[in-house]
Structures are given as C-alpha cells and as structure tokens.
Structure 1
Amino acid sequence: MTERGGPLARQGAMACVEALQYRLHAEARALGAAATNPARLRHFVLASRLAADLWLRHVQGPDSGRPLHRRMADALGLAAGAPAITAAEPPPPPAAPVGGPGCVTVLQPFEPPNDRAEWLTYQALSSPLPLRQVPRDAAKRIDALAEAAPAFAAPLKEIRRTLALAAHAGRPSPRIRPVLLVGPPGIGKTWFARRLAQALNLPFGSLNLGGATDNRCLQGTARGWSAATPAWPIAEMSRLAAPNPVLFLDEIEKAGGQRESNGRVHDTLLAMIEPESASGWFDECLRSPADLRNVVWIMAANETRGIPAPLLSRLAVHHIAPPPASAFDGTLAGLLSGIAGDIGCSIGELPELALETRQALKRSFASHRNLRRLRAQIEECLGIAAEEAMRASH
C-alpha cells in the first residue's frame, strides 16, 4: 500500500505501521509471560520481523527522537499529520545500522520463496558487506597491463583516471563507468577483463549472452516458479561474497528476447547499470530491492549493431583493434603468464621455448594477429617441449 496506493491508502498504511510499532512495544513488556505460550511467542516474533522489514524499507538510517509518523511521512513524501494511534510511551528509537562507510548492504531483509537451503547464502547480502578495496599500487598494475595489452590502452587510460579521482577523494573502492569493448573475435576481450579484475584485486564473474532468448539468464526467475532464481548479479555477489565484483558480459549484441512476451536482455541490463535504478533494482525472486551501483561492468561485442542506443549511451565504448605485430613480445609474455596461472605454476616452471619456435610463432602472429589462435599455438608448442624434456630425462 505504501508503495503503490494513493495518498489516503499510504496514510492508512503508515498508521498501521505505527500501530504495529506501539503494539509490539507494549507486547515486549509481557514477553516473559509469553514464554509459557508458544503460539503467542511465535506471533510476537513474526510481527517483530514484519515491523523490522517495514522499518528498513521505508525509514532507513538513524534518526532523532522525532515521532514515527513524521519520519514515515518524510520517507513517503507525504504531509505529516497527527498520529493515528497514541500511546502513553513512545517506542524506542531504532538502532544505528551496522557497518561503516566502506560497507554496502546489497539486499533488504527478505523472506525466502521456499525452504531450499541455498537461500541462506543470500541472507548474507542483507547485512553490511565490506567493499573490496583496490590496491594502492593499482596505477602501476594498470600500466603493466597496458604494456602487456597495448590494444586496450584507451579503456585502461579511462580507468586509470577514474582511480586517480577516487584516490584524490579518499574513496578506495571507486565506481567505474560500464565499459564496452568492441572488436572481432579472438583479440583478447575476455582475457583483458580477467586481467583487469586481477589488477584491481576484485573477484570476477562472467556470462555469455550470445544464446540468450529472453532476459531470465540475467534477471532470474520470478517467485512462484518451482525453479525460482535471483538475478545473475545478485547470485554472483553472493558466490563471490563481494558487493563490487567485476562482471563480464560477452556477446551482448547477440542477446535476444521480446519486450512484449519474454523480456529483452538489453532492457534488463539498462536498468541494472543506470545509477538511479541500480541503487534499488527490484529482484522478483527475493522480492527485495538490491544495490547494484558498485558492480564493475565490462561488456564485449563484435559490433555495436544490435545494441539499443539508450544502452550504448550509458557505456564507455572502446573499439579494440587486433594487436600489431610489433607487440608480439609483450603479448607472448602476457599469454605465458596466463597459461602458467591456469596450470598453477610460475612462468619459470613452464618448458622453455626454443628460439626457432619463438620466431615461428612471431611470423604466424604477424599473419593472423589473433590472440586466441596464438594462445592455442603456444600451448601446443609448450606441450611438445614438455614431451621432449621428459624423453630426454629418461
């Protein structure tokens, strides 16, 4: 009623919330006697949870000793009238919220849609979570990444400026404008997104939208369905236990869906990245607003055709060209580092590539300039070198 009703309905709902607060305050005095009455105790607990949910939804943050109806009126944008129900004693003021300026409460308190145990993992998002802070040497890390991936110098330059501005303002967890990388397949867009997350010391999640026929892969499934699932960003923040992960969306120009029937991915994504709507994006499964403002969005596409103009206008679009042949040495070092990381070893523990092999890889790279193809060739050469080393040792 407070969210969708008219002024009179909202005033009536406001009076009901106030009456519930006063009733609970009086009921708490007799809570000792309720211990012998389980039904009464259960009723009190359920009513307290309802009152707390209403309070957090409409009257967030600490306040002075102003009457409840005035605080509710300010929260709902109504003229404050006299309280509908009076009491001898006012209710106690709400407790100050837990957490500091470096913490974010992603979800408001919610009731799980069913009794599946997985909902316990999402409950952690309704408590303040600390923002992951970028390292102090983030600028040096960005410079090192720019040397390893010169084709991505433009987006890295913009991100470096954002980090500098945030550091000047004393904010160790900056909000970065969503980035769209446009370029042909195989030039390292996914590789770059992973390395950027590592440089910023932020957890990483990825989703391919190429085969999406509706928005359920991003928006989740609404409550009422047997397989109800929260939105993908909320699921990733729960899995990664961080309110500001790097979330990578690949092939966004190929995302499907119809606005009239099953929902379009682009419309859902637009609401998730728009600052005003991202601050209270409503999840239809958990039936709770979620704060998505701190997510670092990196997106990739082969072309901009197929992406709506309203979505493009909210993205930092960077067209990425294939790396030049002169960047082979840095590209090779970066790919070797990535291969070693995937295996779980250091670069020095990889088989050494002979000079003739490196020169052959360089000539091949100059002809195709495709990072995915170059990595496959490097892995094949490393495998051959490893087999030769094993035969030599025996």
Structure 2
Amino acid sequence: MTTPYKDQLLALAEKLKQDVKAAGKKRSEVFLSIWNGIEQNLLDKDFDPMSARDPKTPVELSLREGLVDIGRCYLADDDRLPNDAQIAEQWLMIGAEWGSFMGQMLLLQFHIASGQTAYDPRWLQAFRKWQSEEERGDFLWKNQNRRFEKLSSVAFELGLRAAIALQDAALAKEVSDCMQAASCDDLSLIGLQWQAERLLTQNEPIPEYSRQILGSIIPGNDAKENQALSRFKTLLGPLPLQTWPDSPSWAEGLRQEYPWMVAAIDKLENEWALHHVTGHPVLKFRPLLLVGNPGLGKSRFVQSLGKTLGLPTAFLMMAGMNDNMMLKGTARGWSSARAGYLVDFMRENRQANPLVCLDEIEKVGTSKHNGRLWETLLTMLEPTTARCVTDEYLLGPVDYSAVNWVATANDLRDLPKPLRARFTIIRVDEPESRDFDRIFTNTLQEIARDLGTETWALPALPAEIVEGLRRQFRRNPGSLRQLGVTTRSLLQLEARAQMDNGTASRYYH
C-alpha cells in the first residue's frame, strides 16, 4: 500500500540521521530508535495508515506520536537535535495529519510562535478536547502525557489565547481554574495569565476617558522576578485620563497666585479653550519650557499647576543625571534592575496623563553612558514616538504620549537644539514690587506646608518687620528664594521670642 507522506518521511529520516551524527550525543540516538520503529511500518506492504489515526495499543500510538517526538525536539527548547523550525514543522504536520492530538496542539503553538497570532478557532477546540481527554483519562492518554509532560501547558496556552482573543471572561476563569487545579507553574504563561486576569475585572467600571499605557510584559526567568513584575500588570488595563476643568476659574486662581507667570498661564488657558471648542476634554498640552533667572518660583509654579489641575506631579532633577536608565529602566539580571521612574510613577498614581517637571533641563547630561538622556527625552516628547517606548525592565512598549511636560531652565545656552525645539518656550520675568503681598502670602503657605501645619498657626510677624521685607523686595524683586529663606529665619526668631516670654526685640538686632 502507498503510504501518504512516505517519500517525505524517508527524506526527513536521512536528515535526522545526519543531525544525530553531527550532534555526537548518546541522548540523541534515541531518535534513530524511534525512527526505526516507524520505518518498519512504512515499509510493511500491509501497513494501514488509518491504524495510526485510531490506535488501540501503545505500539500503534507510538507510530504517530514518534513523529511528533522527533519534531518537537527540533525546536529551540531541546538540545538533543539542532534548532530547525522548518524541519520541526514537517514532522509535526505529518504527525498531526495522522491524528496525533499532541502534534495538532504543538503545531498550533508553533504557528503562534512564528507570528500567526490572529485568532484561530482551533485554539479553543484543542483546549476543549484536552479537557475531554483529561476527564476520560484512558491508558493511551496517560501514555501520551508521560511522553510529553508539557502537554497540559500547551493546552493552557491555547485556552488562554482563545479567551483573550474572544474577550471571554468566563473562558478565562475556566482556564485559570484548570491551571490552579493542575498546580501549573509554567513561567512562560505568566504574561497570558496577566492578560486573562484583566478579563475577569471587566465588570469594573472603566473611566470615560482612559488609556492602556503598557502593551505587554515579557515574563521573567523565575518566580521572584515574576512577583516583582506582577506589580505592573495593572498597566495592561486602562488607566484614567484627567480632563480639563469645566470653567476657566483655575486659570484666574493661578494668575492671582502667580501674577508674574501670566504668559505661561495664558498659554495654558488657550489650550484649555481649544480642547473645549473641539470637544476633546482630556487634559493635554504641548510641552512648556519656563526660562528665567534662579529664584523666580518656576518649580513652585509647576507644583501649584499640578495641584490646581488635579494631576499627580513628578519632579525629575536634570542636573547631574547622566544616563537614561532613570527613564527607560534598568535591564533584568542586574541587582539594580527596575522599571523606568515615570512608568512606575503612573502605576503608583493610576494616572495615564500626569504632569512631569524636568527641573533645570539645561543641565541635562550629555554622556553616552547607557544612552544619552536627552535623546531618550526626545523620544518621549515627540507624540508619534512617545506611543511606543520600550522599557528595559518590563521589556514591553510604554505609551507616554498622554504625559504633560513642563521644563524649567535658567538659560538656554547649554540646551541641545533638538530638545529645545520640542518645547513652547515661555520667558519668565521678575515679579513687580506690587506683587509683594501675594508672594509673601505664598511664602507663608509654603513654610506652613513644609511644617505640616496651616498659616494661622505660624508666629505673627510684627508689622514693621513685614514692611522691612517689603522694602527689601522692592530693591531685589527677582529673589523669591531669598525672601523665603529670610522669612523662615524671622519666623524662627519670633517663635524663639515667644518661648522666651515676649522678648522678641533682642532677636531682631
């Protein structure tokens, strides 16, 4: 009888003999023994291929499963035969055609690994058949499981992929329950398990405006690493996006608090108006760069802006930062391995569009050690490239395109031109003498906040002392930092005077 695939199998056998000889390993010779058994049947004129499709004995089972055993050992996770995907596929295909369920599942898994990730109904069919065979549990099935201990892991992978592709929460739970019952701890399935877990929380309300900022996470090499990585699986689902306030009162409040920052506030209010007119309320504005002399309150303004708009605010001090590991993460395998600071910040604050302040950006390091920091910033600041920035620790694409950026600088001479071009530059002028009362109130509020109290709890400074501060401010209105230092010192002296039963005057001279 002419056996289907006979010529192809004989050609594959010749390749197998060459590969076993080249491998030079005793363990590899087992495949020649497997082939010899198959070849005897192929050359038998009475051999009926249909017997391989419906085996009644372990001997008949070994015929088709032997083909699959050889095929799977040509894959990358077995060192007994060379890694040869093309040859592996042929062995698996013939085994699958002859009715090997193991071959059918491994072939599906092989095609997924080769990039064929579009949903295939056979994924779910294979998982269901695996469940049925597990329940039946006859001696042939048990024999097959002994041949390949990872057969259940392949079934779980196909089941998880089907659940994710179909967005079927019930199926996701069913597969997860099966994995738990089987005590499956296959680390290669961690990523799929995390995605399936998201389906189980689909009934939770999703914010009206949200974004998934992490495309995927590559699982780690051990349980400890996966436990650390699991903190980030929440980023595989949607994170809320803050929206602009309904009324412009936020801008007026900032103008009253920071009258010398009116140019920046006007620019932001224009962005607010544009978003409202076009029906896009998500809070997003073009990166701003505040340029002005030291001590003008640029960083404090950014802090107040974030609080006013309801955005968690991260401050990155650019001075002395020489490589991009802070932004892109540190690769696994190092003791200092960690995700990038910003993706971790978004995870902790559950916000997809936080406010990020790049403080003193003109002092950004230009060292090439671990990659130029400013070149990484370019990627994050450009909307098109910011959507897919690979984190070196998570090994997945992070979407930074919704982040709101504000940078501060004392001057622009040392700032690389490509980086400068990514910002709307706002010149910050010195406050005017008439702004003293507002600035002095801000100063007291900042000191109280630093002390963890309210302004009313601070010692009251005598009127003549406040007037002296006013005169000093008129002479040098550009030194808000110095005003803060002086005011705090005077409050300390007044507090000490009160402790000494009202002998305040001797501390002011």
Shorter-chain TM-score: which interval? 0.7 to 0.9
Which segments of 5 or more consecutive residues in structure 1 lack a partner in the other structure? 1-11, 61-94
CA contact (8 A) 1:113 1:224 kept: no
Q: Distance in 2 between matches of 1:258 and 1:393?
A: 57
Question: Following TM superposition, by how much is the alpha carbon of 1:325 offset from its aligned partner in structure 2, in angstroms?
Answer: 2.4
Deviation digits for residues 58-102 of structure 1, max 9, x if unmatched?
Answer: xx9xxxxxxxxxxxxxxxxxxxxxxxxxxxxxxxxxx9x964650
Distance 1:20 1:318, change over 3 A: closer
* 1:347 paired to 2:458: no
Look up the SS of the partner of 1:306 in the other structure: coil
Q: Within 5 Å, which residues of 2 pair with 1:113-192?
A: 113=220, 115-116=224-225, 117-137=227-247, 139-192=248-301
The answer to whether the 8 A contact 2:126-2:158 is kept is: no
User: How far does the alpha carbon of each residue in 1:271-309 deviate from its partner, in whole angstroms, 9 at most, with x for none?
Assistant: 001010112222222121111111111111111122222
Q: How far is the alpha carbon of 1:344 from its aligned partner? A: 2.9
**Per the alignment, in what secondary structure is the counterpart of residue 124 of structure 1?**
helix
Residues 102-153 of structure 1 deviation map (CA, whole Å, 9 limit, x = unaligned): 011010131344534442332111111111234434x212222222212211
1:274 to 379, 382, 393: 382
Number of the residue aligned with 1:44: 155
Instruction: Provide the residue aligned with 1:25 in structure 2.
Output: 124
The verdict on how the C-alpha distance between 1:164 and 1:283 changes in structure 2, with shifts beyond 3 A counting, is same
The structure carrying a bigger helix percent of its residues is 2
Distance 1:51 1:280 in 2: 26
Letter in 2 for 1:267: E
CA drift at 1:45: 2.9
Map 1:47-86 onto structure 2 (within 5 A).
47=158
Within 1, Cα distance between the matches of 2:491 and 2:159?
A: 63
SS in 2 for 1:30: helix
Contact 2:311 2:355 in 1 (8 A): yes
Identity value in percent: 31
Q: Is the 8 A contact 1:132 1:173 kept in 2?
A: yes
Partners of 2:127 and 2:156 within 8 A in 1: no
Within 5 Å, give how 1:333-372 maps onto structure 2.
Answer: 333-368=441-476, 369-372=478-481
**Alpha-carbon spacing, 1:264–1:16, altered in 2? closer, same or farther (3 Å):** closer
Q: Matched residue of 2:426: which SS?
A: strand
Structure 2 counterpart of 1:281, one-letter code: V
3-state secondary structure, aligned to 1:348: helix
Deviation at 1:31, TM superposition (A): 4.5
- Larger relative CO (CA 8 A, sep 6+): 1 or 2? 1
* Aligned residues of 1:215 and 1:257 also touching (Cα < 8 A): no
Q: Please give the alpha-carbon distance, in whole angstroms, between the structure 2 residues aligned to 1:255 and 1:51.
A: 47
Secondary structure class of the residue paired with 1:205:
strand
Change (3 A) 1:31 1:354: farther
- Go from structure 1 to structure 2 and tell me whether the alpha carbon gap of 1:213 and 1:363 turns closer, same or farther (over 3 Å shift): same
Partner secondary structure for residue 472 of structure 2 = helix
Give 3-state SS (helix, strand or coil) of 1:304's partner: coil
For residues 48 and 170 of structure 1, the distance between their equivalents in structure 2, rounded to whole angstroms, comes to 41
SS of aligned partner of 2:473: helix
How many correspondences in the alignment?
342
Give the 5 Å matches for 1:232-271: 232-259=341-368, 262-271=370-379
Q: Distance in 2 between matches of 1:156 and 1:25?
A: 56
Going from structure 1 to structure 2, the CA distance change for 1:393 and 1:296 (only over 3 Å counts) comes to same
Show the 5 A alignment for 1:8-19. 16-17=115-116
Show the counterpart of 1:70. none
Amino acid of the structure 2 residue aligned with 1:107: L
The question of whether the paired residues in 1 share the 8 Å contact of 2:240 and 2:350 is answered with no
The higher radius of gyration belongs to 2
CA–CA separation in structure 1 for the residues paired with 2:124 and 2:271: 48
Q: What root-mean-square deviation, in Å, do the aligned CA atoms of Structure 1 and Structure 2 show? A: 3.0
- Give the counterpart letter for 1:43 in structure 2: V
1:230/1:286 contact within 8 Å kept: yes
Three-state SS of the structure 1 residue aligned to 2:345 is: helix
Output the CA distance in 1 between the equivalents of 2:277 and 2:411: 36
> CA contact under 8 A between 2:124 and 2:162: conserved in structure 1?
no
Distance 1:389 1:49, change over 3 A: farther
2:116 is paired with a residue whose SS is helix
| CA distance in 1 between partners of 2:414 and 2:433 (Å) | 31
1:89 match: none
Contact (CA 8 Å) 1:244, 1:295: kept in 2 or not?
Answer: yes
Note if contact 1:328-1:362 (Cα within 8 Å) is conserved in structure 2: yes
- Give the match's secondary structure for 2:120: helix
Change (3 A) 1:252 1:342: same
Aligned-partner Cα distance in 1 for 2:160–2:218? 10
Deviation string for 1:234-264 (max 9, x for gaps)? Answer: 12111222111111111211111345x5321
Aligned residues of 1:211 and 1:256 also touching (Cα < 8 A):
yes
Q: Secondary structure at the match of 2:459?
A: coil
Alpha-carbon distance between aligned partners in 1 of 2:486 and 2:249, rounded to the nearest angstrom: 30
Q: Distance in 2 between matches of 1:52 and 1:289?
A: 22
- Compare 382-391 and 15-24 and name the one that shifted more: 15-24
Aligned partner of residue 206 in structure 1, secondary structure: strand
Q: TM-score scaled by structure 1?
A: 0.78
Please report the TM-score for the alignment, with normalisation by the length of structure 2: 0.61
